[in-house]
Amino acid sequence: MVQTSFSYDALPMRVRFGSGVVASLPEEVARLGARSALVLCSPEQRATGETIAGALGERSAGVLAEARMHVPIEVARRARARAAELGADACVAVGGGSAIGLGKAIALEHDLPVIAVPTTYAGSEMTTVWGLTENGRKRTGKDPRVLPASVLYDPDLTLGLPIAMSVTSGFNAVAHAVEALYAPDRSPVVSLMAEEGVRAMTRALPGVVADGGDLGARTTALYASWLCGAGLGATTMSLHHKLCHALGGTLDLPHAATHTVVLPHALAYNQPAAPEATAALARALGSDDPAGRLWNLAASLDAPRSLRELGMAEGDIEPVREQVLSAPYANPAPVTRDGVTRLLRAAWSGERPAPRS
């Protein structure tokens, strides 16, 4: 059935995709008219960040290797101060959602353009969404100033991504596409991208797991992450993301792994209330039960399937539930106390996902 009423705003950004495309980074910095770009990365990515800074030559303001999950406010403040101290007029964020999120935090205050060089499948580079964590609460918002001006997708940079992280990062991307398919502001363009993103990612991940050096599988996974991230960037988030923001901000659970565990449960909760999205996912996944198919795929790829194994205590269920209920996101199925409790309990214990009752 064709969607008969919608609006779609194309986001103003430039994407370059392909093996070796990171070599064009100096050109992209020059294209923005920037003279001094601060390279941002996590401590684990420092070597890559140093290589990128070296490639920028005199256009590099240095490397700040302090990016952390969920962008703690104290890290953001230090990065903002450092960018101002160095006189940076652009940022190059190298890595996953942590580095790109830190770049967005700087852009939010100093209005500096960001060039994203993703090395995971997180998808943050495709969105105007920012997030900051303070006092155990993760705040998110949207602002066009944080949208990267350019994104360089180079599959070569993903070859070293550990297999376990590749899997959870891939599921994180799929979660973006799933919610884009039933978002209240979806459009036919977004739905096409999201369905193809789910199809491509779920077909690429087994190849990545079989051989992390398979450039073909890595390229397909990165292509999928672009599509899934673009879907997230063009729509609003729903229950799945609200749950993950609460779990991550409050408990500091690993971001991608939390998405991996929660996704089949949040999808099962919403499937009966989102028949068109469920049909699209059924086509992409080759299953009439998309939530069950994702659950089984996670098992086959040795991904985590319970919040308990990520470090969540059973006693954390109630405070997380209350945070979700206090400010729920738009969602196709009603967000109820009993429903969220059952969802969290199943995700915590690692039960097979069940439809909302």
Write the pLDDT tens digit of every residue in 185-228: 999 999 999 999 999 999 999 999 999 999 999 999 999 999 99
Mean pLDDT of 13-32: 94
pLDDT band at 139 (very low <50, low <70, confident <90, very high): confident
pLDDT band at 357 (very low <50, low <70, confident <90, very high): low
Q: Examine domains 14-158 and 163-349 and report if their fold is the same.
A: no
Q: Which residue has the higher pLDDT, 44 or 5?
A: 44
Mean of pLDDT over the chain: 94
Is the pLDDT confidence value at 11 over 90?
no
Mean pLDDT of 65-69: 93
Q: Find the distance separating the first CA and the last CA of the chain, reported in whole Å.
A: 27
pLDDT at 79: 95
d(Cα 34, Cα 40) in Å, to the nearest integer?
Answer: 16
pLDDT band at 287 (very low <50, low <70, confident <90, very high): very high
Q: Which residue has the tokens 């969105």?
A: 127
Is the pLDDT confidence value at 1 over 80?
no
Mean pLDDT of 273-294: 97
Q: Are 142 and 130 in contact (CB under 8 A)?
A: yes
pLDDT at 270: 97
> What residues have CB less than 8 Å from 74, skipping those under 6 apart?
none
Is the pLDDT confidence value at 2 over 70?
no
Nearest to 102 by CA among 162, 39, 47: 39
Q: Which residue has the higher pLDDT, 73 or 138?
A: 73
Mean pLDDT of 290-309: 98
* Least confident span in 10-19, 154-163, 277-286: 10-19
Q: What is the pLDDT of residues 157-171, one digit of tens each?
A: 999 999 999 999 999
pLDDT at 340: 97
Torsions phi, psi for 119 (to 5 deg): -120, 5
d(Cα 232, Cα 190) in Å, to the nearest integer?
Answer: 9
Q: Which CATH architecture has domain 14-158?
A: 3-Layer(aba) Sandwich (3.40)
Q: Residue 84: helix, strand or coil by DSSP?
A: helix
Running DSSP on this structure, what letter comes out for residue 332?
S
In this structure, the number of other CB atoms found within 10 A of the CB of residue 13 comes to 18
Is the pLDDT confidence value at 9 over 80?
no
Q: What is the pLDDT of residues 305-356, one digit of tens each?
A: 999 999 999 999 999 999 999 989 999 999 999 999 999 999 999 999 987 7
Q: Which CATH architecture has domain 163-349?
A: Up-down Bundle (1.20)
What's the burial of 300, exposed, middle or buried (CB within 10 Å: 0-12/13-18/19+)?
exposed
pLDDT at 249: 86
Mean pLDDT of 259-268: 98
Q: Which residue has the higher pLDDT, 243 or 5?
A: 243
pTM: 0.92
Distances (CA, A) of 299 to 4, 206, 285: 38, 12, 15
- Residue ranges per structural domain of the chain: 14-158, 163-349
